[in-house]
């Protein structure tokens, strides 16, 4: 028993130590390459210079981080709401699906980023344009996964509900939505990642400046000024944001599914 | 429950049932026995009010009929699969039919407990279906069917996927339930032995098109218990059923 406990502790230690070790090793390799090859900091700064920039430029970068975070989460939230409502409507009424299917396909296969310039022209403010772009990109994976999930209901379960005289709303609420939950979570994870990408790309094409601009603009600006350490610092903040979104959606998925769904179960045999 | 000259043709033109007339009286244990494709399951679905008939009539004289033309709450169905909702605990699964009738969880609690203890699963109320064995899942499915206190229990090859030992045990339990509750059971099966053991009446069906071959009472006035399985009267019943089934199959040149 004690052996088992010890090996479990060791296991946990290894699971933390290895990723941390890999990151540290990569940083060391980065540092060594910069110094052995004598690469100038305006091409590739070493990790220490990047850390310095992160601290020094914090007053510029932090508000930008907040702007990007806000756009990402607002668009994701709207996409969740819109995608869910729309998916439920589509599944409830066949003719609605027939009407919207071609539109959905066109919007889904067109790279939304390509219509960002148009959105920038039509939208009242740059912020609104960014929000619309990120929303459109996150909306479709959530919609199509949820539609798929709502249609994947076991026929035996449907018979069961019919037999016990369930009405449409009961069937939706007690059967279709829980069945679709794992699909919804997949859509949410994909949508979460995409909304950040879309927010960044839309900002690249918007090229807005001044107080209300996000991390993507700070990256462009740093590139123009050859302020490469700041560029790296902004990149790190973006990837921290990406990781946070991933962790949040994964945690949410675990919270809702771990008690019953196969994807969250440990295999024991 | 009465079916009068019921026929059912599927949309692809297959005649699933032709001219089937069957009356199930209160307290009967009727087995529908026959080769695959003889329309046993279709007949059962029609009895439950699922899927309409092409011609003929079906009536549930003892039940209140809902606006959708189906009997209200008096019929329960046990499918081939347990069909439990994986995101609900055992107790919540048993609660489902009551919930769909609009009964609150609190008001339903005694009935849930009663149904679970009938199938010896009172200790597993909080477990999720994935934690149960195949036989236990089937028991939960039976408990769910009992929760509405039905007058007629329809079972569609409920134990076909279980091992022989579990199957015998559940057969005994179903028999016990039937004896103590006074409900009518219609039991679809492929197995001569299962039908001979359980039934008070056996309806042998023929395939292509599905129709009734023979309809006869069995085990009249015999106590069915562990001894019955090895008794001469059980053997005679099996023989009687086998011959009937053989004749039903023979008619189509197998």
Full domain range(s) for residue A99? 47-264
Is A89 strand, coil or helix?
helix
**Mean pLDDT, rounded, of chain B:** 83
Tokens standing for A140?
Answer: 């479709």
CATH number for position A222:
1.10.3720.10
Residues A14 and A51 placed together within one structural domain of the fold: no
Contacts of B72 in chain A (CB under 8 A): 165
Cα separation, A191 vs A112, in Å, equals: 14
Q: Does residue B62 surpass a pLDDT of 70?
A: no
Residue A21 C-alpha from the chain's centroid: 26
Cα separation, A32 vs A134, in Å, equals: 39
Q: Kindly indicate the confidence band of residue B69, based on its pLDDT and cuts at 50, 70 and 90.
A: low
- Any A CB within 8 A of B65 CB: no
Residues A139 and A74 placed together within one structural domain of the fold: yes
Q: Does residue B254 surpass a pLDDT of 50?
A: no
- Any A CB within 8 A of B42 CB: no
Q: Does residue B252 surpass a pLDDT of 60?
A: no
**What is the total count of domains within chain A?**
2
Q: Does residue B67 surpass a pLDDT of 60?
A: no
Q: Kindly indicate the confidence band of residue A179, based on its pLDDT and cuts at 50, 70 and 90.
A: very high
Residue A131 in any domain: the answer is yes
In this complex, the residue of A165, A170, A260 whose CB is nearest that of residue B86 is A260
Residue A87 in any domain: the answer is yes
CA-nearest residue to A173 within chain B is: B100
In the prediction, which pLDDT does A209 show? 56
In the prediction, which pLDDT does B68 show? 58
The dihedral built from the CA positions of residue A216, A133, A104 and A77, taken in this order, carries a sign that is positive
Give the pLDDT confidence of B96-125 residue by residue, as tens digits. 999 998 899 999 999 999 999 988 899 999
Q: Does residue A109 surpass a pLDDT of 80?
A: yes
In the prediction, which pLDDT does A4 show? 64
pLDDT over 70 percentage in chain A: 94
- Any A CB within 8 A of B130 CB: yes
The answer to whether the Cβ–Cβ distance between B87 and A178 falls below 8 Å is: yes
Q: If 0-12 CB within 10 Å is exposed, 13-18 middle and 19+ buried, where does residue B154 land?
A: buried
Cα separation, B130 vs B151, in Å, equals: 30
Residues A66 and A88 placed together within one structural domain of the fold: yes
Cα separation, B150 vs B155, in Å, equals: 13
Give the pLDDT confidence of A190-218 residue by residue, as tens digits. 999 999 998 898 888 877 655 568 899 99
3-state SS track over chain B: CEEEEEEEECCCCCEEEEEEEEECCCCCEEEEECCCCCCHHHHHHHHCCCCCCCEEEEECCCCCECCCCCECCCEEEECCCCCCCCCCCHHHHHHHHHHHCCCCHHHHHHHHHHHHHHCCCHHHCCCCHHHCCHHHHHHHHHHHHHHCCCCEEEEECCCCCCCHHHHHHHHHHHHHHHHHHCCEEEEEECCHHHHHHHCCEEEEEECCCCEEEEEEECCCCCCCCHHHHHCHHHHHHHHHHHHHHHHHHHCCCC
Residue A269 in any domain: the answer is no
Give the pLDDT mean for A149-177: 91
In this complex, the residue of B79, B128, B148 whose CB is nearest that of residue A259 is B128
pLDDT over 90 percentage in chain A: 54
Query: Comparing A181-185, A242-246, B15-19, B174-178, which segment has the lowest mean pLDDT?
Result: B15-19
Query: Comparing A93-107, B40-54, B149-163, which segment has the lowest mean pLDDT?
Result: B40-54
Greatest mean pLDDT among A244-248, B34-38, B131-135, B189-193: A244-248
Residues A52 and A34 placed together within one structural domain of the fold: no
Q: Kindly indicate the confidence band of residue B87, based on its pLDDT and cuts at 50, 70 and 90.
A: very high
Give the pLDDT mean for B214-218: 81
**Mean pLDDT, rounded, of chain A:** 88
The ipTM estimated for the assembled molecules is 0.84
> What DSSP assignment string belongs to A147-168?
HHHHH---HHHHHHHHHTT--H
In the prediction, which pLDDT does B253 show? 45
Residue A205 in any domain: the answer is yes
Give the pLDDT confidence of B137-151 residue by residue, as tens digits. 999 999 999 898 888
Residue A124 C-alpha from the chain's centroid: 26
Residues A210 and A127 placed together within one structural domain of the fold: yes
Q: Kindly indicate the confidence band of residue A236, based on its pLDDT and cuts at 50, 70 and 90.
A: very high
Residue A113 in any domain: the answer is yes
Give the pLDDT confidence of A3-37 residue by residue, as tens digits. 667 788 888 888 889 999 999 999 999 999 999 99
Residues A227 and A255 placed together within one structural domain of the fold: yes
Between residues A124 and B36, which one has the greater pLDDT? A124
Give me the total of CB pairs closer than 8 Å, taking one residue from chain A and one from chain B.
55
Give the pLDDT confidence of A126-138 residue by residue, as tens digits. 888 889 988 988 8
The answer to whether the Cβ–Cβ distance between A265 and B50 falls below 8 Å is: no
Give the pLDDT mean for B211-216: 80
Mutation to test the B interface, candidates A154, A178, A260, most B Cβ within 10 Å: A260
In the prediction, which pLDDT does A119 show? 87
């Amino acid at each position: 028993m004690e052996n088992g406990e010890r090996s479990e502790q060791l296991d946990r230690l290894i699971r933390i130590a290895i990723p941390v070790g890999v990151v540290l090793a990569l940083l060391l390799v980065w540092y060594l390459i910069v110094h052995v090859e004598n690469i100038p900091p305006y091409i590739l700064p070493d990790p220490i210079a990047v850390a310095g920039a992160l601290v020094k430029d914090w007053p510029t970068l932090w508000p930008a981080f907040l702007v990007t975070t806000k756009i990402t989460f607002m668009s994701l939230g709207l996409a969740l709401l819109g995608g869910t409502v729309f998916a439920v409507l589509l599944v409830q009424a066949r003719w609605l699906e027939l009407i919207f299917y071609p539109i959905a396909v066109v919007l889904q296969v067109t790279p939304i980023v390509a219509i960002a310039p148009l959105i920038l022209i039509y939208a009242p403010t740059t912020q609104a344009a960014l929000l619309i772009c990120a929303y459109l990109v996150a909306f479709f994976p959530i919609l199509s996964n949820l539609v798929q999930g709502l249609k994947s209901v076991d026929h035996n379960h449907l018979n069961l509900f019919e037999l016990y005289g369930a009405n449409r709303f009961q069937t939706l609420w007690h059967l279709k939505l829980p069945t679709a939950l794992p699909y919804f979570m997949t859509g949410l994870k994909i949508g979460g990642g995409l909304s950040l990408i879309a927010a960044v790309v839309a900002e690249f094409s918007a090229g807005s400046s001044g107080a209300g601009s996000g991390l993507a603009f700070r990256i462009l600006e740093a590139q123009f000024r050859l302020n490469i350490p700041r560029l790296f610092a902004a990149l790190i903040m973006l990837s921290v944001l990406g990781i946070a979104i991933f962790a949040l959606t994964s945690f949410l998925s675990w919270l809702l599914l771990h008690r019953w769904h196969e994807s969250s179960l440990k295999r024991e045999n | 429950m009465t079916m009068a000259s019921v026929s059912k043709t599927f949309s692809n033109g297959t005649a699933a049932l032709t001219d089937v007339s069957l009356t199930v009286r209160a307290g009967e244990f009727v087995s529908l026995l026959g080769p695959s494709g003889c329309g046993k399951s279709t007949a059962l679905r029609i009895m439950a009010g699922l899927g309409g008939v092409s011609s003929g009539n079906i009536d549930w004289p003892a039940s209140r009929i809902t606006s959708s033309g189906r009997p209200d709450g008096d019929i329960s169905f046990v499918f081939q699969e347990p069909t439990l909702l994986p995101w609900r605990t055992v107790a919540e699964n048993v609660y489902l039919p009551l919930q769909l009738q609009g009964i609150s969880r609190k008001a339903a609690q005694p009935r849930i407990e009663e149904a679970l203890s009938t199938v010896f699963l009172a200790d597993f109320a909080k477990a999720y279906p994935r934690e149960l064995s195949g036989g236990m899942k089937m028991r939960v499915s039976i408990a769910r069917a009992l929760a509405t206190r039905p007058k007629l229990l329809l079972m569609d090859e409920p134990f076909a996927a279980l091992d022989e030992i579990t199957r015998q045990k559940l057969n005994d339990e179903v028999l016990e339930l039937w004896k103590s509750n006074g409900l009518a059971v219609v039991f679809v099966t492929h197995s001569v032995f299962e039908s001979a053991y359980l039934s008070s009446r056996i309806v042998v069906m023929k395939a292509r098109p599905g129709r009734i071959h023979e309809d006869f009472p069995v085990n009249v006035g015999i106590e069915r218990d562990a001894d019955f399985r090895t008794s001469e009267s059980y053997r005679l019943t099996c023989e009687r059923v086998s011959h009937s089934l053989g004749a039903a199959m023979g008619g189509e040149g197998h």
